[in-house]
Every structure is written in structure tokens, then in C-alpha cells.
Amino acid sequence: MQAGQIEQIEIDLLLEAVYRRYGYDFRSYARASIERRVRQFLSRQGLGSIMELTDQVLHDPKLFSSLARYFSIAVTELFRDPWAYRVLREKVVPVLQTWPHFKVWHAGCSSGEEVYSLAILLREEEVYHRSTIYATDFNDSVLQQAREGIYEIDRLKDATRNYQGAGGKASFSDYYHARYGAAVMDGSLRERIVFSNHNLVTDTVFSEMHLIFCRNVLIYFDRGLQNRVLKLFDESLVNGGFLCLGSKEDIQFTEVADRYEVVDRQARIFKKKARP
């Protein structure tokens, strides 16, 4: 048996051990991403083999937490893909305005930048006070950062440009306070946000959602897990509700494709059809 085949078995055993010991299921994550991150994590920890890592992870919950954070590294920023937020303003918010109260599920919210982006947008469109935003992630450490809403001040230059491109109606500096080289998001933006732990791989639905926002998460899942998560979203959305995915994600050729109409293909925004 070749070395590469042995490595595949070792990674399978690592993922199975993590699932059975801690209940976190990475077995259906995109394989190339998992393999790359396992190798990088080994190097960072100074470990000689995957089997050594597996043994230590089984007996050291702190090491597992570090590994889980490494698996869930997400690339995110405030108002990422500003044109998508502009479409939300123009095509989704007018429908949200027709409901006396609406619920948003921001699944895989990571460190919270896009949650605050959405809160700002809804405030500027004068519907934030009628919303409840459920911001979820399986990684408690990034959820804590999201709750705190503290980010490096140097990243705000890109955020300001993105905000303007998203059709921002004020000065972006109105929404944060600069303090000791960091930007602290205004506390009022958290008034309608509920942060909670939720694992898309193993947990159940959030019922009666009007908008599900899950951008650049599905790309880390294999096709089977993508279908599972999309069906989870479908069960969570009301008829006429909206699903917003990342720029490299789509529902074409999935098991829920015929349940949705395209609102905007580039922005990857879809509307759930009413049941006949």
C-alpha cells in the first residue's frame, strides 16, 4: 500500500475519532480542504504523524478545540461582496417590509462580520426593529468574538469601501467605536441578534425563518452534506422566504433546486416557492 493511501486511512481514523469522542462530524467536509488543514495543523503542533495527532486529540480536549477551530477557519469581512448586499437592499428588503416581524438565520456566522453587516443594512432600511437574527456557528471561540464585535482597526478601510459599494446610506464610522487599535461595533447593533451554537452537520432546523443567510460555508462540504444542509434550510424557511448563499455556491443540480426561483443569480439569492 502506498504512503498516500495510508495517509487517507489515517485521516479517516482521525475524523472518526473526533466524531465518536466529541460529536463533531467533519467526515463529509470537502476532502481536499480537510487534508490540507490536517497537514498544516501537524506542522504547527510539531507532531510527526496523523496517528500521533489522533491519540493526543482523543485524550486532550484543549487540543481538539484547537483542531476544530483550525477546521472551521473562515474567510470573512464586513460587507464582503458588496454587490450581494445591494441586491438584498433592492430585492429582498421590500418583501421583508411586508411582514410585521421576520426572522433571519445567519448560519455559519463565524466571527460575526457579516452578521453586523446585515444588521446595519436592516437598520438603514428601517426594518431592523422588526427582526430577530439568529447567528449560529459550531465554533464557540469565533462565536464569542462575534458576540464581542471587536475587530482590527486596519481592516476597516476595506469595510468602509465595501459598505459604500453595498449602497450604504450613512458614514460607516457611525457604526463602530475606535479603541486601542481596535474597532468595536456599536452595541445597539446586537439588540436583535441571538448568538448560539449550532452544528449544520448534526443539528436540526430553525423553524419559520424568512431569510437564511449562509455564505461560503457549503463550499467546504461534499455533495451529500450540501444536500443535507440545503434540505435543512428548506425545512426552516417559510414559503416565500429567501436563501442567500456565497458567490461560489448554488442550488442548481441539488435536491431542492425545483423548490426555488432565482432572485439574482450573481448574488446567489433564491426565493422559496409556495407549495401548490
In this structure, of 2-6, 36-40, 183-187, 237-241, the range with the lowest mean pLDDT score is: 2-6
pLDDT at 23 over 80: no
Q: What is the pLDDT of residue 59?
A: 94
Distances (CA, A) of 246 to 23, 213, 249, 266, 268: 27, 9, 5, 9, 6
Q: Give the span between the Cα atoms of 60 and 54, in whole angstroms.
A: 10
Residue 182 one-letter amino acid: A
Q: What is the pLDDT of residue 176?
A: 95
- CB 186, CB 177: distance < 8 Å: yes
Exposed/middle/buried for residue 261 (C-beta within 10 Å: 0-12, 13-18, 19+): exposed
Model confidence over 169-222: pLDDT tens digits?
Answer: 999 999 999 988 899 999 999 999 999 999 887 888 888 999 999 998 888 888
Q: What is the pLDDT of residue 254?
A: 93
In this structure, of 69-73, 187-191, 229-233, 248-252, the range with the lowest mean pLDDT score is: 69-73
pLDDT at 21 over 80: yes
If one counts every other C-beta atom within 10 angstroms of the C-beta of residue 255, the result is: 14
Q: Give the span between the Cα atoms of 125 and 206, in whole angstroms.
A: 25
Concatenated DSSP letters of 14-64: HHHHHHHHH----TTB-HHHHHHHHHHHHHHHT-S-HHHHHHHHHH-HHHH
> Could you tell me the pTM of the whole model?
0.84
Q: What is the pLDDT of residue 74?
A: 64
Q: What is the pLDDT of residue 172?
A: 94
At 274, the pLDDT band (50, 70, 90 cuts) reads: confident
Q: Give the span between the Cα atoms of 72 and 142, in whole angstroms.
A: 9
Q: Phi/psi class of residue 167: alpha, beta or left (left: φ > 0; alpha: ψ in -120 to 50)?
A: left
At 1, the pLDDT band (50, 70, 90 cuts) reads: low
Model confidence over 244-258: pLDDT tens digits?
Answer: 999 889 999 899 999
At 24, the pLDDT band (50, 70, 90 cuts) reads: confident
The order of strands in the sheet holding 102-107 is 193-197, 131-137, 102-107, 209-214, 237-245, 269-272, 260-264
Residues carrying CATH 3.40.50.150, the chain: 82-272
For the domain spanning 82-272, the CATH number is 3.40.50.150
> Which of 66, 139, 150, 152 lies closest to 109, judged by CA?
139
Q: What is the pLDDT of residue 168?
A: 96
At 38, the pLDDT band (50, 70, 90 cuts) reads: very high
Q: What is the pLDDT of residue 271?
A: 98
User: What share of the chain has pLDDT > 90, as a percent?
Assistant: 67
User: What share of the chain has pLDDT > 70, as a percent?
Assistant: 98
Cell 481538539, residue located: 64
What is the DSSP secondary structure assignment for residue 190, as one 8-state letter? G
pLDDT at 3 over 80: no
